Structure formats: structure tokens, C-alpha cells
Homo-oligomer: A and B are copies of this chain.
């Protein structure tokens, strides 16, 4: 009995621990809820181990204790999936625009697999190897070249025997389909999630049509991650589900949204918000927002429910707590959390003890403390996508002249 399932047998476990033996498809086929983890690049950026800009995961090799600790926190919060910290770990991305990690792609991908496996084995979790969109695609490289990129990461995942694969964070369904086609060759279960909203992908393909193409390419699980807030993302997955069902196909559904409110986003998502990536704090969801999200996702028929950028362990715990009855257990970290604020009964101040109730937190409209700031922003809308010159990626650092052109273009928008 491992350290986390041990916890599950104490008072705050509603029914008892699940065995960790079954694969992702067995679980989903059995109607189980699978809880994902949160986005590592944002969480580790705040902890000092990821650089905003390149967003590459060399910390897996450089600072394994920091990455391991974050895995553990998500596991403890209820995650059933440890995604390898391999976001943007394709060779072409690692060396993009002047970024020069001290480790090779292979080193990083291997280290990430080892960490995910180590922690997954401490509890009831699966390891998922992930690939994501490539600079090569944006720079209009051929299908063959792009597929070769995915293949190289995949070799590591197979060697390290991950439990299943995720093609995630794709803005163009075309590239996601290529990824799925490569991943399928391994025989492992394949999930595919796009970073799009209800308006569809960057080429204007609707969520319904995107989902159909991914399922036809072989993905068993399809859905949405990143770029939009939870309720918007659930909305987009619903559209995917309708499309798949209308086409007479079958799939499981996943959602791993932002932990940021994005009601003002256009089709490009939070990347277009003026606050991205260093001014997003006022948009962070509370744990109570997460309860609503988990319920909505569940009600929409989604069973792989996790998070992306902005999610901290307590956000995942809130998802797990909302679905505790359906899952039959509370997460380990709930030993440190009274349901719906009940822990406040132990607070020193009487008026804070008076907040120890669901009704209080469910109806709170939290203030920003920023009266000089607006509540919504006007997103940038450069409207450029694959094919636009400004999107060509390069190994060399962006030059001063290139930057000046960007500043000028920025002002004229």
C-alpha cells in the first residue's frame, strides 16, 4: 500500500482507494472520472524554474527535485494522470529564438518520464507522454518534417513505457491530426486536445469538425486544453461531443482549461490578452470557481477533467472535492482542507468562523482591490496565423530591429 492510498483509508476517504492497475481507456470505459494535473510551465515559472518566453521544460533535467515536488502536490490533490513535463520539448522548439538549454531534448524528455513515473507509482496515477505544437508547423515545414519531430519525442516515451499519449496544445487541427497519426503507430492509447475555443481553430475549423477529424485519425479521447477559462472550454468540448455523435463516431472527452477567467478573449485565447503572461493574477480562479467547473464538466459528460496554465494544486483538489461522491473518495490533500470552508470553524476570529459555510463562499463576488483597473480587456487581434511572415520561427535571438518593428506594429493595431 503506497503513501497516498494509505491516506485514502483514513476518515476523509469516502469509500476507499482505487487500484492503480487499470489503463486510461479501461477507466473511462468503466465510467470512472479521471482527474488530470495542472499546467507545469506556469506553476514552475512562479517557482523560479521555467522561463516565460521560451517556456521550455529543461528543469526536468536541471532541477528534478522541484519538478518532482510539483508532481507530488498534484498527486496528493487528486490527479490520476502525471503528464511528463515535456511541453515544448521538441528539438526545434528547444533551440528557438536564442533559447539554448544546457540539456538535449532526449535528456529532458527522459528525465521528465522518470520523474512522472516515480511519483505516479506513489499513488493511483498513470503516466502520459505529451507532444505539442511545433515551430516547424508554424514555419510551414512539410508534413513529413513535422511528423519527424513528433517521432523523436515519441522514441523516448516508448523507451520509458508511458501509459498513454497526449497530443495537446494544438491551435491547428491539421497539425494535431499529424501528431495523432504518429502517436497511433505506437499502439498506446491516444488523447488529443486542442487549445481552441467555441470559435474553432486558427484556420476557422469548428470544434465539432476538429473533433471528428481527430477521432477519425485515431484519437480515443478528444477535447480542449489551455487558452480559455473552464466554462468556455467545457462549452467547446460540448460542441466537439455533439459533432462526434452527429457523425456516428464514439470517443471519450477531456478538458484541461486555464485557471484564468477569459470572458474577453477572441479565438486566439489568453495569448491575445494584454495581461498575458505577466499580469494575469486578477483573473485567477478561486477554488469555488473550480467547484462550478468540475460540476459543469461532469454534467457535460466529460470524464477526463484536469487543468492547464494557472492551476495550482489547490485548484485540482477543488475539482476532486466537488466530485468526491461520484469518485467515491477524497484526495489525500483534503486532510488539510475543510469542505466548503469548514476549516474556518477553527479560526481565531469569530467573524471568520462565521464564514465556515458553503452558502457564503458559493455566492461571494470577490473584489479585485484594483479600482483603477477595468474588469475586461480588449485583446490584441493581430489575426496572424500559420503562413504569416511574423510567425516564421528562427533559431537566432530576435534582433533589436525585429523588436522595433514589432513595437511599431503593436502601436498601430
**In chain A, residues 55-93, which have Cβ atoms closer than 8 Å to a Cβ of chain B?**
55, 65-66, 69, 72-73, 76-77
Contacts of A407 in B (CB 8 A): 354, 357
Residue A9 CB within 8 A of the other chain: no
Residue A29 CB within 8 A of the other chain: no
Q: Which of A77, A284, A365, A402 has the most CB of B within 10 A?
A: A365
Residue A248 CB within 8 A of the other chain: no
| Stretch in A15-23, A46-54, A106-114, A160-168 with 4+ CB within 8 Å of B | A46-54
Q: Which of A261, A273, A344, A367 has the most CB of B within 10 A?
A: A367
Residue A187 CB within 8 A of the other chain: no
Q: Number of contacting residues on A, CB 8 A?
A: 106
28 intermolecular pairs with C-beta atoms under 8 Å apart: A45-B336, A48-B333, A48-B336, A51-B335, A52-B343, A65-B69, A66-B69, A97-B346, A97-B347, A98-B346, A274-B366, A276-B355, A278-B287, A279-B361, A281-B282, A281-B285, A282-B282, A282-B367, A282-B369, A345-B397, A353-B402, A354-B409, A355-B410, A365-B373, A367-B374, A368-B375, A371-B371, A374-B374
| Stretch in A190-198, A209-217, A309-317 with 4+ CB within 8 Å of B | A309-317
Contacts of A352 in B (CB 8 A): 271, 276-277
| Stretch in A145-153, A174-182, A376-384 with 4+ CB within 8 Å of B | A376-384
Docked-complex contact A345 and B47, CB < 8 angstroms: no
Docked-complex contact B345 and A48, CB < 8 angstroms: no
Contacts of A366 in B (CB 8 A): 274-275, 279-283, 370, 373, 377
Contacts of A398 in B (CB 8 A): 345-346, 353, 356
Q: How many copies does the complex hold?
A: 4
Docked-complex contact A338 and B283, CB < 8 angstroms: no
Contacts of A283 in B (CB 8 A): 282, 366-370
